[in-house]
Amino acid sequence: MTEPAVARVGVLISGQGSNMEALVRGAGPVAGYEVALVLSNRPDASGLERARALGVPTVAIDHRPFGKDREAHEAQVHGALLEAGCTHVALAGYMRLLTPFLVEAWAGRMVNIHPSLLPLYPGLDTHRRAIEAGDAEAGCSVHMVTAGVDEGPVIAQARVPILPGDTPESLSARVLEAEHRLYPAALSDWISGR
Ligand code: GRF
């Protein structure tokens, strides 16, 4: 397959899609990528409407009819990504554990953003855990997606302070702002080989 001049990124979401919006706003010829598709496993994800308002094609592939057959759901997701001509995948609040099928299909071409300074705090509830540990700072990481959850090589990180009196909510808001700056820049640098 001949690579398009500008990478075509499929963004996978499950929720509000604020990182997806940051990726769309950061896209363009200079960034070296465009968002070709926004796909959600939840048909009611508010991020789908957000993507449509930004003029980006959307697809919802509900995981529920597939029950425990995660691979069958992923086969549909994979098909939709290929149909849209995607060359890369960016997970942005996609709340599904991936099977080896999708991880291997996009090996070296799929990244995720995680709201902690990996390898600290993989998984859920990162902000509460950072506060309870007495950490002085928190942050977010963009990493390659590999078989282990939040375990792939880190591409870029941004740090924010944890302030006295911070709650998981106040820290989450601070980290999310950092995510919106980090993700488009990290995606662009990675795709452009910088
Ligand atoms: C972000 O905190 C991201 O790091 C995590 O899920 C959240 C998604 O938020 N993986 P949004 O849907 O992009 O607003």
Query: Which of ligand 1's atoms lies nearest the C-alpha of 115?
Result: 4
122 in ligand 1 pocket by Cβ < 6 Å?
no
Percent of the chain at pLDDT > 70 equals 99
Give the model confidence (pLDDT) of 168-194 as tens digits: 999 999 999 999 999 999 999 999 998
Strand 110-114's sheet: what is its strand order? 58-60, 33-40, 7-13, 88-91, 110-114, 137-144, 154-161
15 in ligand 1 pocket by Cβ < 6 Å?
yes
Separation CA 130–CA 80 (nearest Å): 37
Q: What is the pLDDT of residue 1?
A: 57
- H-state helical runs in 27-167: 46-53, 70-83, 100-105, 126-132
113 in ligand 1 pocket by Cβ < 6 Å?
yes
How far does the centroid of ligand 1 lie from the alpha carbon of residue 2, in Å?
Answer: 32
Give the model confidence (pLDDT) of 5-32 as tens digits: 899 999 999 999 999 999 999 999 999 9
115 in ligand 1 pocket by Cβ < 6 Å?
yes
Mean pLDDT, the chain, as a whole number? 97
Active site residues: 114
How far does the centroid of ligand 1 lie from the alpha carbon of residue 120, in Å?
Answer: 17
Query: Which residues contact residue 134 at a Cβ distance below 8 angstroms, ignoring those fewer than 6 apart?
Result: none
